[in-house]
């Protein structure tokens, strides 16, 4: 039996549940109130936990696999196997000071106080630069600490940057870049097929998100020029159209980012009836 710990609430819950559904491992029962849920595979169960607790649960074996932020993994200094960057929940831990402060770098904070919800990451960040500071641990509302005389600077999560601006703070340095990761218990990962399968399933969804499946009809005498437009991974698939000898059906997988330009070039090259289709999963 493999137990996967996933965030029970907060901003990571919904995208995690969606990704698992796309990977063919839907969370079948339970909402945020429940502790456990099943999925379609009888060998896998879900455990709902606080995002911040997941790294330690996975390290200690309370869960075999986990999904949580890299910042939380580093902050708890958890000894876990890092399997995959899931490319969502992206945020930076930034060093910020009041907008009217003359301070422009970490080095200028020698001997001062820095408030944060991430004391370990913060302490290491300053240590690496040889700067001695006092870390003030807070458990929320970090942004107001410089305005009430508790700290001179903060290290806090920022994604859109709105909270910093609203609180009259400015970022001076990026201390850590985070996104959500798939992690596993070090011992369980060794020779465990199921964990390999989970990783492959999730990876195949991420890979597919960046690709589109293109289908089109191409006059036979335009095939060579159409092929040049399609950088195809294993080259495009070319099929005969039963009713018309002079037309070929061409299929190819292309990067989602280049689809706009590619469709235009394909039309110019003579392709017709072009269909762009999303791909659910892609295994190499």
Ligand X SMILES: O=P(O)(O)OC[C@H]1O[C@H](OP(=O)(O)OP(=O)(O)O)[C@H](O)[C@@H]1O
Ligand Y SMILES: Nc1ncnc2c1ncn2[C@@H]1O[C@H](COP(=O)(O)OP(=O)(O)OP(=O)(O)O)[C@@H](O)[C@H]1O
Q: Which of these, 14, 103, 4, lies nearest to 54 by C-alpha position?
A: 4
Position among 2, 72, 153, 263 found at the interface with ligand Y (CB under 6 A): 72
Element holding 85 (H helix, E strand): strand 81-85
Residue with CB nearest ligand Y? Answer: 69
Among 158, 178, 204, 262, binds ligand X (CB under 6 A): 158
Comparing CA positions, the residue from 61, 64, 68, 34 lying closest to residue 48 is 34
CA distance 148 to 155: 16
- Check if the beta carbon of residue 144 is closer than 8 Å to that of residue 122: no
Tell me if 191 contacts ligand X by CB under 6 A: no
| Binding test (CB under 6 A) with ligand Y, winner from 69, 199, 262, 271 | 69
Rounded to 5 degrees, what angle do the CA atoms 122, 123, 127 make?
120
Q: Is 52 in the site for ligand Y (CB under 6 A)?
A: yes
End-to-end CA distance of the chain: 27
Binding partner at 203 among ligand Y, ligand X, none, C-beta below 5 to 8 Å by kind: none
For the bound state, the minimum distance from the C-beta of residue 146 to ligand Y, rounded and expressed in Å, comes to 19
For ligand X, which stretch binds (CB under 6 A), given 43-51, 159-167, 226-234, 238-246? 159-167
The listed partner (ligand Y, ligand X, none) that binds 69, CB under 5 to 8 Å by sort, is ligand Y
177 binds ligand X (CB under 6 A): no
Q: What is the CA radius of gyration of the chain?
A: 25
- The size of the interface with ligand X (CB under 6 A), counted in residues, is 10
If we measure between CA atoms, which residue out of 207, 187, 191 comes closest to residue 81?
Answer: 187
Closest contact distance (angstroms) between CB of 177 and ligand X is: 14
- List of residues contacting ligand Y (CB under 6 A): 7, 10-12, 51-52, 69, 71-72, 89, 91, 157, 159, 178
What residues line the site for ligand X (CB under 6 A)? 140, 143, 156-163
């Amino acid at each position: 039996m493999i137990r996967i710990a996933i965030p029970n609430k907060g901003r990571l819950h919904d995208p995690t549940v969606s990704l698992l559904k796309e990977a063919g491992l839907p969370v079948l029962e339970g909402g945020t109130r429940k502790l456990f849920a099943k999925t379609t595979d009888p060998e896998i169960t879900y455990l709902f936990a606080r995002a911040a607790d997941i790294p330690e649960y996975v390290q200690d074996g309370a869960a075999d696999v986990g999904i949580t932020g890299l910042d939380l993994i580093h902050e708890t200094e958890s000894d876990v196997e890092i399997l995959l960057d899931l490319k969502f929940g992206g945020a930076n831990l930034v060093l910020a000071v009041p907008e009217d402060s003359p301070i422009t770098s970490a080095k200028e904070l020698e001997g001062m106080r820095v408030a944060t919800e991430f004391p370990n990451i913060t302490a290491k960040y300053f240590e690496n630069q040889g700067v001695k500071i006092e870390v003030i641990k807070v458990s929320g509302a970090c942004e107001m600490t410089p305005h009430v005389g508790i700290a001179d600077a903060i290290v806090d999560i920022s994604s859109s940057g709105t909270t910093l601006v609203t609180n009259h703070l400015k970022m001076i340095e990026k201390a850590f870049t985070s996104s959500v990761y798939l992690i596993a218990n070090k011992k369980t990962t060794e020779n465990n097929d199921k964990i390999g399968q989970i990783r492959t399933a999730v990876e195949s969804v991420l890979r597919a998100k960046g690709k589109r499946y293109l289908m089109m009809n191409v006059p036979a005498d335009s095939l060579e020029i159409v092929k040049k437009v399609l950088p195809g991974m294993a080259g495009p698939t070319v099929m005969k159209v039963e009713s018309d000898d002079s037309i070929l059906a061409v299929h190819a997988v292309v990067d989602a980012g280049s689809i706009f330009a590619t469709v235009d070039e394909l039309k110019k090259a003579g392709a017709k009836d072009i269909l762009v289709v999303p791909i659910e999963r892609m295994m190499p």
